[in-house]
Homo-oligomer: A and B are copies of this chain.
Amino acid sequence: MPIPAATLYPPFNILRLSHVELCVTDLARARGFYVDTLGLQVTHEDAGHIYLRAMEERGHHCVILKLAAAGSVGVLGFKLYDQPDLDKAAAWFAAQGLSVDWVERPFMGRALATRDPMGVPLEFDVQMDRLPPIHQHYALYRGVKPLRIDHFNLFSPDVDASVAFYAQMGFRVTEYTADEDTGRTWAAWMHRKGGVHDIAFTNGRGPRLHHLAFWVPTPLNIIDLLDLMATTGYVGHIERGPGRHGISNAFFLYIRDHDGHRTEVYCSDYQTVDPDLEPIRWNLKDPQRQTLWGAPAPKSWFEEGSVFDGAALRDSTLAAQPIVAP
């Protein structure tokens, strides 16, 4: 299936990814990972939740840690341009025969809850409480100095189908991996906000969240995080990296929390606001697409991911092969 061309006039305007709800089994332990180690800022805390934002974000939260019986992902949130877009989105999802629910969320205006055809729980909103800037409060910077949430990466049992669906919503492919033999797409990176991606799909049993990612200032901040984790009892939580992805050219590190949720911290990206930006095609047989420098990724990185609440898992429609990274 050829990669879809950029949709010039999407049915509604998605600005960017907004937030994710991560279900964790121990809030204090998760706080040690996301706040004390990674360096996210707490914006609200109650018995069942911790709300977090990164250093340059003005929205109330980009991550919600929710106490639960098991590790899973509650929802992926996206911010729309304005209120009319929210109604257009509701109409469009209804027309696709997909669920449409208006939900109330703390610290946010009205939100539209639905699922994509794979069952991934999605939430669209326009308004979230705004907080004062802290990006110049340098005394608050900790850990890897996370600046903003950057993207979600999902396992999809049918990447071509996932890409086709999100392309209709206006997500544009910046890079992708194709199987030269079958022509099938093995992985694709799609954006709305003008970077390499807001969301990416990777071939594999799914839907599952492969990772969420934070943008950090420089590679040295990632080295600082490695040194910190390696000497504070988190060495077992370092899964892959540091390295450079051929795809996206990202300097990356992958770490895992106690419930197995994977976070990528990365820097180096490029501007993709041009609608005529040509997607970069990578060959499934080119190992440098995964790691420009050649080092292989561990088995866990290809196989493990976080399930979405209420989403049934399906195996990939593609022959079992090394899952395409990143």
Task: Write the chain B residue with the least CB distance to A18.
Answer: B274
* Residues on the B chain within 8 Å of A15, using CB: 273-275
CB within 8 Å for A275 and B224 given contacts A232-B139, A268-B217: no
CB within 8 Å for A271 and B230 given contacts A223-B251, A278-B58, A288-B235: no
Whether the Cβ atoms of A292 and B230 lie closer than 8 Å is yes
Central interface residue in A130, A242, A246, A280, by most chain B CB within 10 Å: A242
Q: A58 CA to B295 CA in the complex, in Å? A: 29
Q: A91 CA to B277 CA in the complex, in Å? A: 27
* Residues on the B chain within 8 Å of A288, using CB: 230, 235
Whether the Cβ atoms of B193 and A275 lie closer than 8 Å is no
Q: A194 CA to B269 CA in the complex, in Å? A: 14
Question: Does A276 touch B at the CB level, under 8 Å?
Answer: yes
Whether the Cβ atoms of A231 and B139 lie closer than 8 Å is yes
* Residues on the B chain within 8 Å of A59, using CB: 274
Whether the Cβ atoms of B82 and A8 lie closer than 8 Å is yes
A67 vs chain B, min Cβ distance (A): 26
Whether the Cβ atoms of B277 and A58 lie closer than 8 Å is yes
Whether the Cβ atoms of B271 and A244 lie closer than 8 Å is no
Q: A8-B82, A56-B271, A138-B232 are in contact. List 10 more A-B contacts (CB 8 A).
A: A15-B273, A135-B249, A136-B246, A136-B292, A138-B228, A193-B273, A220-B220, A227-B244, A229-B293, A236-B294
Residues of A within 8 A of B (CB): 8, 15-16, 56, 58-59, 79, 81-82, 127, 130, 133, 135-139, 147-148, 193-194, 217-220, 223-224, 226-232, 235-236, 238, 242, 244, 246, 249, 251, 268, 270-271, 273-278, 280, 288, 292-295
